[in-house]
Structure formats: C-alpha cells, structure tokens
Structure 1
Amino acid sequence: MKKVIAIVGPTAVGKSALGLKLAQEFHSEIISGDSMQIYRHLDIGTAKDSPAELKAVPHHLVDICDPDQRYTVKNFQERAKKIITDLNEQGKIPFVVGGTGFYLSSLINNLNLGGNSTGDDKVRQELLEIEKNDGVGRLQSILKSEDPIAYRKIDIENSRRLIRAIEVIRTTGKSITDQNNGNKWANFYLIGLTDDRPKLYERINQRVDKMVEMGLLDEAEYVFKHRETFVQAKNAIGYKELFPYFEQNTPLDSCLDEVKKNSRHFAKRQFTYFRNQMDVDWYNISDDNNYQKTIEKNIIKFVGGHND
C-alpha cells in the first residue's frame, strides 16, 4: 500500500514551513494541495513558497496553469495520485501540503468525481446557466433535494462546490462526500497544525500586511484587469476584496481589513472542515515547543523504519 503524509490546517499556521523542513529531513518532495498555487504569476496572494524554497525541495502542482485556465478537483486528484505513485516507487514518502479541504478529501478518500464525458459537460453547462440566471440559492435548493448529505457537509456558499457536487450525484449516482465511494488506495498520515485563535488571527493579520509590502496590490490589480477570463483566480481571498479599491469605490484600508476578515473566517472554516471530515493528528504550535520533534518521531513510526 502506498504511503503519503499530508500537512493540513488553517491558513497562516505554518504548514509550508513545516513541510519544507520535513521534506528536507526525510529526503522527499512536496505536492501542493492548494487550489490557487497552481496558477503562474499569482505568487503573493496565494502565499507560495519563495523561489529559493521552491528550489530547495522539489515541488509539484505549483505554477502548472495560466490564470485563465480551468483546473478541477478531478485534475488535481489524477495528477497527485500519479506523482505519489511515482515517488513511492522511488522509495520516497511524499508530503502533501495545503489547506484546500476538498482537494485533500478527493485524494485521501479516493472520491469518485465522475468523468469528462459529453454528458458531464452538458450537466455542468446546465448548472452554470442556472447559476447565471437564478443565482446560488437555486443551486443550493437543487443540491439539498438531490444530495442532502453533501448539502450539510460542503461549503454551500461556494458555487463551484455546489455545481461539482450536483454534477457528481447526477453522473455517478453517489454523493461527493461519500468517503466509501472509492477504493482505499494509499495510507495517509495526516498532520494538523493549529494555534490558539487570537494568536492565529494575529498571524493572519501580519501576513496580509507583509503581502502588501511584497506587492500584493500590483498582483491583485493584474487579476482585476483580467477578471473576465481569470474565472477561478478572481475569487481567491486577497484579490477579490481589493476590486472595490481599483474601482475607486472603497478606501484601501477598508479593503485590506476585508482581506484580513475573510482570511480569518476562511481559517475557521478550514479547521472545522479538517476536524470534522478527516482523521487528523493535531498539534497546537503554541502549546508544544517540541511539536516538530514529536511529528518527526510519529512520521518514522508511520513509515515503519528509520530516517537516514
């Protein structure tokens, strides 16, 4: 059975830094589990590792698409599984690092996400038309009727999640949240990082300020100017909140406050998702000064050998 280590948790908690350290320690490679780091040219708002960090440890599924390209959960699942298989065959246990819960769930639970048949495309187009004409509320009603389990578990404010969930139930007959609708194909050790909420929120606020110093406004303006074609990227936290500033409707400080607020809310949703949907071994980074050493020991146990 293949083996994989995943590092999950809320935004700004330190997943990337830990992933880099552990991947170096165990002579392995990193697979990004982030739905926005796939896009080229969007580096600051997506919190990518620096060029030096990307060079220090081989990274996969980073900078693989242009921002105007569509990238699905199924695309991620298929590519990540192949990379994991290849790395395992080389004797490496890969580290999947990221905070996009549904991406990781699709991989861990081997979810049946349907195919790319004409029928699937037809369903998707019908749902996109419903969203355009009737709004998200209509999609929510459809999902509640056709797949009440998914309605209770996924983020129903996210139209892409709604469309995908309806698409899967209609094309496969199975709920997208059914953890038994795929065959177990790998053993995962899930490392979860968390922190006391006030400390985590302060880390988030500080990271937004640092992003601004690094050039977030220029990057967000680039997305704003291409918002008609950057269909997925334009909805990322850190970009969309700044659009009113570029439209000269809202002061910059107010927009940045909105980035921080939405980032804090996102962190809360991430933690809730991982806590409720996955079997995670949690580590509070403030409570345990030696949590990294404990994690290393547990990884060695999971691998079933010794770290060379």
Structure 2
Amino acid sequence: MKKVIAIVGPTGVGKSELAVFLGEKLNGEIVNFDSLQFYKELNIGTAKPGEEERKRVPHHLYDLLELDEEFNAAKFVEIADNLIKEIWERGKIPILVGGTGLYLRAFEYGLFSIEVPKEIRGTLRKRADQDLSSLYEELKRLDPEYAQKISPKDKVRITRALEVIYTSGKPISYFHKENPFFGKKRYNLIKIGLILPRKELYEKINLRVIKMIEKGWIEEVKKLLEKGYSPKLKPFKAIGYKYIIQYLQGKISLEKAIELIQRDTRRYAKRQLTWFKKEPDIYWFNPDEKERILNFLKEKLATN
C-alpha cells in the first residue's frame, strides 16, 4: 500500500512550516485538512499558507469554498481520495496537514455518508437555536446509546444525530457499529505529531493572535461583511471571527476581543491535543526537530 504523510497537532504549533520543509525535501505535495482553510477569503484569521509557501511546494484544498457553502467530512474524503491518487500518479508523496481531527480520521478509516434533505437540516437547526435541551431529550428517546456519549450542550452532534435518524430511519449508533472508525485502514498513513510544552505553546498562540491583528485581520473581516456576507454564517462562528465581528459592531473593545481570541484559541489547542493523544500510531516530535523528522520519514518511506 502506498504511503501518505500526515502532520497533526494543536493550532499555532508550526504544522504548515514543517509541511513545506518536508514537501521540498521529500518531493511532496501538501493537502489541507483544516476545516476553516477550505474557505476562500478567510486568510489571516486561519493562518493560511501565503504565496511564498505555495510557490515552494504545491498546495491543495485551500480556497475551495465560498463562505456560505456547506462542507463536511464525507465530502472531504471524496475529494481527498481523488486528489491523493493524482499526487501518486505524478510520482509525488501526499503530505496532509491540519488540525481538524475528525477529517483525518474519516480519511484514514472511512465515514458513512448520508445526504440530508435541506428541509430536515433547516428545521433541526432552527429548533436547536430555539431550544437545544428539547432536541437532546428527543435524541435520548430515539438513540439513548449515542446521547449518553455526548454533551447535552453539543449542538453540532445533537443535530447531526437527529439528521441521520430522520433521513435514514436508523440511529447514528447503528452506523458507528456498522462502520466503526477503527476498523480496516484505507491508507498507510505515517502520522507526525507536533507538540510543545503547554506554557510555550500558549505563549506562541498569544503572540500569533497579536500578529494576525497587526497583519490586518480586522480589515479582512470588515471587507467580508461589507460584501454582504451575514455575520451568522458558520465560518464566522469560528474562533476569533465572532469576536472581531462583535468589536466591529461596537459590542466589545479591541483589547477584550484580543483577550477572548487568545483564551478561546488556547482552549481549542487543548481540545486538539486531547483528540490527537487518543489517536493511535502518532509519532510525536518538537517542531524544531525538522531534520530528525525528515530522517525518520525517510526510513519509514523506505520500508514496506
């Protein structure tokens, strides 16, 4: 089975920098699996690779979607599967990079796909906004096994589980048993995890937020709102964007917005680490160990 490299880890740890380094050294092409970097026009706030990096190594699945387009793990897997084959056919090595753990897991093990009618999705989302607790009670009745595993406040998973039930007539727990993630691997994935001491990572995150503001993050959001995009769009609910919108609306000060972005980004990094620490077969390194990582990968790529 041909090999794929994946670089994982928390936000701000240095994944993109390592990906470009490895792409140059290993004749690779970079494939994004960061859910926000799929969107066009979200550049500064998502820390998307710049022009210089993209000239050095081919980058894929960036600037893929309009801000109001829907996307999910199943669609990602479908697009990524075709792209990986094309990269192999060019004699190159695919290097996946990102922090959206669910997308990588779906890519490695597969994911059941159900096309949910817009009416069902719209109705459930509206109800979730109005009374999430009643939706959770409904899920407890229809799929008690899955409801036990998730938080009563997890809007995304509650609505997704009910979408599956109302579309297929079967609970999501049934599909998880039929097609569990940790079944047969679809790819020979070499996973490199980047990690830093917690204090050092948090300091990097705090500084990065300041740099993003200085680079024009506020102006980026302002222009998008002036184009007529609704502040209620899903990408704008992501870390950082919602607080910049609140600042632009005069609801909070810039200092408060920065403080909240830094806090939420640190919390997100902690959740990412928790997720990836539970994933099997990740080889962990400090982001400064580029040569060591390169030599490790050369050995792995040379073995069957």
TM-score (norm 2): 0.87
**Could you say what secondary structure the match of 1:30 adopts?**
strand
**How far apart are the structure 2 equivalents of 1:229 and 1:70?**
16
Counterpart of 1:255? 257
Is 1:160 the counterpart of 2:156? The answer is: yes
Q: Deviations over 1:245-294 (max 9, x none)?
A: 12212111011100000000000000001111343111134xxx5x2222
Would the alpha carbon gap of residues 282 and 65 (structure 1) be closer, same or farther in structure 2, given more than 3 Å must change? same
Counterpart of 2:195? 194
In the TM superposition, 1:125-144 aligns within 5 A as 125-135=122-132, 137-143=133-139
Would the alpha carbon gap of residues 122 and 268 (structure 1) be closer, same or farther in structure 2, given more than 3 Å must change? same
In the TM superposition, 1:13-24 aligns within 5 A as 13-24=13-24
Does the CA-based 8 Å contact 1:6-1:96 persist in structure 2? Answer: yes
Counterpart of 1:84? 84
Q: CA deviation at 1:113?
A: 2.8
**How far apart are the structure 2 equivalents of 1:221 and 1:48?**
18
Q: CA deviation at 1:138?
A: 4.0
Would the alpha carbon gap of residues 272 and 149 (structure 1) be closer, same or farther in structure 2, given more than 3 Å must change? farther
In the alignment, structure 2 segments of 5+ residues that lack a partner are: none
Q: Deviations over 1:96-120 (max 9, x none)?
A: 0000111111111212233x2xx65
Mean Cα deviation higher: 246-255 or 168-177: 168-177
User: Counterpart of 2:273 in structure 1: which amino acid?
Assistant: F
Counterpart of 1:60? 60
Does the CA-based 8 Å contact 1:196-1:284 persist in structure 2? Answer: no
In the alignment, structure 1 segments of 5+ residues that lack a partner are: none
Q: CA deviation at 1:127?
A: 2.3
Q: CA deviation at 1:144?
A: 5.3
**Could you say what secondary structure the match of 1:175 adopts?**
helix
Would the alpha carbon gap of residues 31 and 138 (structure 1) be closer, same or farther in structure 2, given more than 3 Å must change? farther
In the TM superposition, 1:90-129 aligns within 5 A as 90-114=90-114, 116=115, 120-121=117-118, 123-129=120-126
**How far apart are the structure 1 equivalents of 2:263 and 2:78?**
34
Q: CA RMSD in A?
A: 2.6
Q: CA deviation at 1:122?
A: 5.1
Does the CA-based 8 Å contact 2:38-2:65 persist in structure 1? Answer: yes
User: Counterpart of 1:65 in structure 2: which amino acid?
Assistant: L
**How far apart are the structure 1 equivalents of 2:224 and 2:72?**
19
Q: CA deviation at 1:36?
A: 0.8
Counterpart of 1:69? 69
**How far apart are the structure 2 equivalents of 1:110 and 1:270?**
20
**How far apart are the structure 2 equivalents of 1:127 and 1:163?**
6
Share of identical aligned residues, percent? 35
**How far apart are the structure 1 equivalents of 2:176 and 2:117?**
15
In the TM superposition, 1:146-295 aligns within 5 A as 146=143, 148-149=145-146, 152=149, 159-168=155-164, 171=168, 173-175=174-176, 178-180=180-182, 183-224=184-225, 226=228, 228=230, 231-285=233-287, 291-295=289-293
Does the CA-based 8 Å contact 1:223-1:239 persist in structure 2? Answer: no
Does the CA-based 8 Å contact 1:38-1:63 persist in structure 2? Answer: yes
Size of the aligned set, in residue pairs, is 296
Would the alpha carbon gap of residues 52 and 275 (structure 1) be closer, same or farther in structure 2, given more than 3 Å must change? same
**Could you say what secondary structure the match of 2:176 adopts?**
coil
Q: Deviations over 1:160-219 (max 9, x none)?
A: 3443344346636312993146x5321111110010011000000110010011001112
User: Counterpart of 2:193 in structure 1: which amino acid?
Assistant: G
Counterpart of 2:301? 303
Would the alpha carbon gap of residues 203 and 275 (structure 1) be closer, same or farther in structure 2, given more than 3 Å must change? same
In the TM superposition, 1:19-34 aligns within 5 A as 19-34=19-34
